């Protein structure tokens, strides 16, 4: 699932209030792996259907319009990048490009995870964030 103008034109622009539960479920499952538990999917869908359609439209339109890549070289703080190797939206090449622009970035690859490693491997994610922040102090 690659975010595109077609996704916005043919999917996001057709959303109505309240956001359809089947759409929200499909969105969660299409960006995750089969490792995501059904209870987590249900909880995430419960939250997604609360998001107003205008927020969906603004978020996805902004993703296409916003580009801060020319400014990234100015950032000097440490950054932890977390990426699932089964991510259908963001490629490894995109991660490597971003990492090369950030002078102090560390990329942690989550094998077998999709777009949302924090949902799919929450224990590892919490441990990685804790160890990263601990190393800063």
Same-domain pairing of 77 and 128: yes
Same-domain pairing of 80 and 55: no
Query: Looking at residue 69, what is its pLDDT?
Result: 87
Per the structure, the complete domain to which residue 17 belongs is given by 5-65
Question: To which residue do tokens 């296409």 refer?
Answer: 64
| Mean pLDDT (whole number) for 51-59 | 95
pLDDT tens profile 24-33: 999 999 999 9
Same-domain pairing of 44 and 59: yes
Boundary (domain end) residue, out of 65, 81, 106: 65
* Terminal alpha carbon distance of the chain: 38
| pTM: predicted TM-score of the whole model, two decimal places | 0.81
Same-domain pairing of 94 and 58: no
Q: Element (H or E) spanning 129, and its range?
A: helix 122-136
pLDDT tens profile 88-134: 889 999 999 999 999 999 999 999 999 999 999 999 999 999 999 99
Same-domain pairing of 88 and 115: yes
> Residues 118, 123, 125, CA angle at the centre, nearest 5°?
40
């Amino acid at each position: 699932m690659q975010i595109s103008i077609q996704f916005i034109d043919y999917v996001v622009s057709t959303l109505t209030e309240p956001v359809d539960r089947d759409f929200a479920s499909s969105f969660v499952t299409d960006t995750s792996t089969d490792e995501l538990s059904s209870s987590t999917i249900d909880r995430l869908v419960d939250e997604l259907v609360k998001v107003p359609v205008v927020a969906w439209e603004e978020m996805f339109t902004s993703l296409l319009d916003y580009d801060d890549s020319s400014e990234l070289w100015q950032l000097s703080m440490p950054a932890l990048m977390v990426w699932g190797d089964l991510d259908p939206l963001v490629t490894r090449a995109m991660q490597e490009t971003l990492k090369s622009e950030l002078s102090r970035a560390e990329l942690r690859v989550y094998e077998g995870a999709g777009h949302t490693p924090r949902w799919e491997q929450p224990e590892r994610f919490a441990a990685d964030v804790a160890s990263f922040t601990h190393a800063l102090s």
